[in-house]
A and B are shown apart, each in its own frame.
Chain A
């Protein structure tokens, strides 16, 4: 296995594009090394992207943020502003694994690992984040919900990597939240994950919303009907029930060692409601 550590994005893209065999980008390595160790993958080339400036920075851009794809969860939490503007995203990234994992794991890796249960992805989708992708043919932006198309399957061409995430300027009276259900209190892969982002008008009525569910389908979902259940409402009990029902209805889960179909469907509704209430409280404060 070869190891390369380029310090420009162009070099990284070229290495990944030109390797005929299996090539992987290495950021935190918290998924990659586990898969190598258990013989799930056997790359001939590993490209360490942590030396590339754009991927490791958080910059304010166009009123929003550009978050490097290889910024760690711990670094996201330590940024002076990000947590107060997008608490849902920062909390989601810091639910992944343990303190040790958060010291290395990145949102780029979390997304590109291609697990439907990834924790930071529903939060990014709910916030309307876009993935800024660099490849042999140049740059393009893609809504995060369009990057994963199935388990371990991405819509990226050979040689493309996610370089950064673009977070839009947060409108006034907007809050985001991410909750997940796990059987313990830490360390587990999400049985269900739910990200909610909503915007209120001056009188407490929801004018915009995005609801995303993880671990209940073959990829993280953007659930439009769930959002519509909230829009135009003050998030009263009736709206929350409709939200929960829409969330449950959107699930296409499986039975596996982490949860049953029925359980995921039920809990998706429970989490959607709880996450919406946290997002609501946050929206009221800004």
Chain B
């Protein structure tokens, strides 16, 4: 069975790779493109560690076939900072100690960035429900929620 040739954009850069039909977008981001920031926690869409955006939409990359990504624009954790300048979410996560082991952090940052693009002034409840698909076992979510709300405030210029 011949491989599929996929071209797409990842974090603004044109990419191309070969993949088997059953390989997921997560597999190819990590193994073909070397972008290991997106993590595999469960491969069933239950933990959110593999969160990316596809055409601006927050999705689990473990639940997309790589071949479906052809022609799409993908956003991963590696694209959140602007050069040396961290995104406010990234800075706030560090400032608030919103990460301990850090394995869930890329997924949370991609998901939180997606939230703030849709809703720049979310309530605590909105933050918690938007991020319910991202599991964290270390922090109990408290500092993550505080970091997201604080980043939102900064981004609103509040």
Contacts and interface: CB of A to CB of B under 8 A. Distances in A.
A100 B48 contact: yes
Contacts of B59: 100, 103-104
B51 interface: yes
A37 B68 CA distance: 17
B58 interface: yes
Interface in B93-139: 111, 114-115, 129-134
B62 interface: yes
Nearest to A1: B21
Contacts of B48: 98, 100
Nearest to B54: A103
A3 B133 contact: no
A30 B115 CA distance: 21
Contacts of A97: 45, 133
Interface string A57-98: 000000000000000101000000000000000000000011
A101 B45 contact: yes
Contact of B67 (A3, A99, A104, A186): A3
A73 B132 CA distance: 16
Contacts of A104: 57, 59-60, 63-64
Interface string B81-98: 000000000000000000
Contact of B46 (A1, A2, A48, A187): A187
Interface in A21-55: 26, 28-30, 33-34, 36-38, 46, 48, 50
Interface residues of A, number: 27
Nearest to B129: A186
Nearest to B24: A33
Contacts of B65: 3, 26, 29, 33, 46
A36 B111 CA distance: 26
Contacts of B67: 3
B4 interface: yes
B57 to A, nearest CB: 4
A111 B60 CA distance: 21
B7 interface: no
B133 to A, nearest CB: 2
B152 to A, nearest CB: 16
A46 B22 CA distance: 10
Interface in B42-86: 43-46, 48, 51, 54, 57-60, 62-65, 67-68
A46 B23 CA distance: 13
A100 B45 contact: yes
B125 to A, nearest CB: 10
B21 A101 contact: no
Nearest to A3: B21
Nearest to A2: B21
Contact of A100 (B1, B43, B51): B51
Contacts of B111: 99-100
Nearest to A32: B63
A105 to B, nearest CB: 9
Nearest to B4: A3
Contact of B57 (A36, A46, A48, A74): A74
Contacts of B4: 3
Contacts of B62: 33
Query: Could you say which of B21, B24, B63, B64 has the most chain A C-beta atoms within 10 Å of its C-beta?
Result: B63
Nearest to A185: B132
Contacts of B114: 99
For the complex of A and B, 8 pairs with smallest distance between CB atoms: A98-B133, A186-B132, A100-B60, A1-B21, A103-B59, A103-B57, A3-B21, A34-B44
Interface of A: 1-3, 26, 28-30, 33-34, 36-38, 46, 48, 50, 72, 74, 97-101, 103-104, 185-187
10 contacts: A1-B1, A28-B63, A30-B60, A46-B65, A100-B45, A100-B58, A100-B111, A101-B63, A104-B59, A104-B63
